[in-house]
Amino acid sequence: MADTPDMPDTPDTILPTSSPAPAESIESAEPENQQVEPARLPTALVYDPAMLDHHVPEEFPETPERLERGIALIEALIAEETLPAERVLRQDARPATLDELLTVHTPAYVAKVQLAVERLRERAGDDAGPVKFATDVYISPGSYLAATLAAGAPLVALDAIGEGRAHNGYALVRPPGHHARPAQAMGFCLFNNVAVAARYAQQRWGWQKVLIVDYDVHHGNGTQEIFYNDPDVVYFSTHQYPWYPGTGASTELGEGVGKGATINVPLPPGSGWSVYDPIFRQVLWPVADRMKPDVILLSAGFDAHWMDPLGDMRLSNADFSDMTLEVAEMADRYCDGRLVVVQEGGYHLDAVTQCMATTLVALTGSDGILDSLGLAPPLNSRWNDEAIISALYQLHDLAGYRRKPRRQGKRVTPEQKPESTAGE
């Protein structure tokens, strides 16, 4: 936290996205007659510095600095009262128990991760550097604790919601989880944090119908696999395609009684707000309306940001804010606001840390954003989102409820088309 006061990338503007004025405080985005609104419970923020002790090689994208700087930026916002302290309920993470991990992973796999870390420590000591564990996955002496904390943090947020202490929650975790398969680590992931949370929500709190929304630029193959036969856990993913890890075609729909509960939205590289916005309004909303979830989990990866080195998408911080707000509104409508955001990817340091802070701001009920990076450069062409959406309507037999644009007329981006009201 020592670098907080002079953190170079603390943006000097926090923009209420609904206002044309460039430099107002977050408070200005709030309604003026606040006294007539019922008191809103805070957002649980679950974090533990021990998650920084999962070390990786030089130049590996998934670094401890992502979280370290994200939490420093959040703490700075709270300290300067830009983000009111009473809106955030800070909670320490706890490690997921073995039984909790075994709801989605095999006993042999969990033992393999634990043993590998123990042997590394015995062989090379607590200061040992990272060693390769699987493709794109390294472990260091702190990795088992870090990974179990990453899987346990969302459970702490769910408890805070279930016990009536928080409105929603943000598990700011690493290593990420959505590529982790039942018996295999991959893509920077050891345990599937969001999947463990889905099972916990069902078993501890009786929230049987779980909607998992995943806007990370990569397809969450592990999450899809774990719930592929499960009708109660709907997995909705937008992702660049074809791209790592190769799964996520729209024709992957689930199997058996789970058929139809997997909803993949593969998107071409270059997709920006003009594609994501109608997909969230016209595909995700009818999906949520049809299932009426008991709780929503959001796999929040910020690697669809236009600056991200691992993706080719064109989203900005404001776009991530709006997608998070959309999901939060969905939770308010269907499940008393029960929403836990679980951190996944995002590898441009400024983009990911500002998106982390912006996500927390959104969860507390504000549409203020932190952004020193701006919008993606103009694009001369645009993708045909109508064709993408109508294909999804056919595949998933969708109909009915849709949402109007959040910021109609407020936002002018070069790739934005005039909105049609047809079918709204």
Q: Using CB under 5 A, list all residues that contact Zn ion.
A: 216, 218, 301, 303, 345
For residue 367, the tally of other CB atoms under 10 A from its CB is 22
Closest Cα partner for 147 from 213, 224, 53, 216? 53
Nearest to Zn ion by Cβ — which residue? 345
Tell me if 128 sits within 8 A of 53, measured CB to CB: no
- The least CB distance from residue 301 to Zn ion, in Å, is 4
How many angstroms separate the CA atoms of 228 and 212, rounded? 13
Reduced to 3 states (helix: H, G, I; strand: E, B; else coil), residue 105 is coil
- The least CB distance from residue 277 to Zn ion, in Å, is 20
- Helix 349-363 vs helix 64-79: angle between axes, to the nearest 10 degrees? 50
Reduced to 3 states (helix: H, G, I; strand: E, B; else coil), residue 131 is strand
* Between 207 and 306, CB nearer to Zn ion: 306
Tell me the backbone φ, ψ of residue 206, rounded to 5 degrees.
70, 20
* Between 15 and 226, CB nearer to Zn ion: 226
* Between 55 and 178, CB nearer to Zn ion: 178
Query: Where would I find the beta strands (DSSP E) of 210-287?
Result: 210-214, 233-240, 262-267
Task: Report angle CA 8, 14, 19 to the nearest 5 degrees.
Answer: 155
- The least CB distance from residue 217 to Zn ion, in Å, is 5
* Between 161 and 171, CB nearer to Zn ion: 171
* Between 142 and 187, CB nearer to Zn ion: 187
How many angstroms separate the CA atoms of 219 and 240, rounded? 8
- The least CB distance from residue 72 to Zn ion, in Å, is 22
- The least CB distance from residue 349 to Zn ion, in Å, is 15
Structure tokens, 259: 């058929």
Tell me if 144 sits within 8 A of 161, measured CB to CB: no
Active site residues: 179
CA distances from 18 to 300, 332, 363 (A): 23, 20, 16
